[in-house]
Amino acid sequence: MNCLLPSIAFAVAIIPATFLTFAQAQPANEAPQPPASYYPAPPPLEAPTVQQGAPTTGLTSPLPRTPQKVERTEIAAESEAQLFAGARRIVWGRYAKIKGARSGDVTVTREGNLWVVKGRIDSVAPGTEGDWASIDGVVERIAAGVVQIRGEVAFRVAKVEKGTPCKVAGLLTFRRSGKSQVWRLAEGDNPCDGTRERFDLVYEKAADKRPVTAQPKRG
């Protein structure tokens, strides 16, 4: 029992000293420290680096915003080019079998190294007056049985889209087979009602306009 007395006395002496030290560190009349304005931590001085992709300039697309400019016509088949140079008529299959239907006119001209195609057909068959189809473009390439024209073909049909012309544009392909002298538009489906228009460019031999020499009369 006597051995415990020194330990108790030491503990009693330590407790007041500890309380006094804490009281001195935290005065009773001092206001508590306000919390930090940034929680949980202040922002970094620089934003984190973000990985950037490839630049979007100079990219190509299947459907460019600006039409591709053709500066010269590529001739891959001279015989085809000679034949196509004689294209004179347009036949519009939508009305071709109606009694009274007529063909239209198309011209193929050369402007330096570039071939230009322009033409129009106005329907005159009964009940179709006012309808028309047209072509306007430049020839990009001529190969055996194929003529590629960059431009547009328009179809105006009164009963389709209230008469608003429906157009197919871009690189248009006209195909000819065998000994035929007709090039038919491959992309000839009307984009407004899906009708197969059968838009044809037809070769026609130019008329011989040379003066005829008068034959002497026989006596």
Q: Does the structure show a pLDDT above 70 at 15?
A: no
Average pLDDT value for residue range 34-56: 66
CB of 189 closer than 8 Å to CB of 167: no
Average pLDDT value for residue range 115-128: 95
Q: Can you give the pTM of this predicted structure?
A: 0.65
Question: Which residue segment(s) compose the domain that 113 sits in?
Answer: 74-203
Average pLDDT value for residue range 77-92: 97
Average pLDDT, the chain: 82
Look up residue 21 and give its two tokens.
């030290």
Instruction: Return the higher-pLDDT residue of 95 and 211.
Output: 95
The DSSP call for residue 163 is: G
Give the chain's domain count: 1
Q: What's the maximum distance between 2 C-alpha atoms anywhere in the chain?
A: 179
149: helix, coil or strand? Answer: strand
Express as a percent the part of the chain with pLDDT over 70: 65
Nearest-5° Cα angle at 23, 21 to 24: 65
Query: Would 62 be classed as within a structural domain?
Result: no
Express as a percent the part of the chain with pLDDT over 90: 59
CATH number at residue 119: 2.40.128
Q: Does the structure show a pLDDT above 50 at 19?
A: no
CB of 143 closer than 8 Å to CB of 80: yes
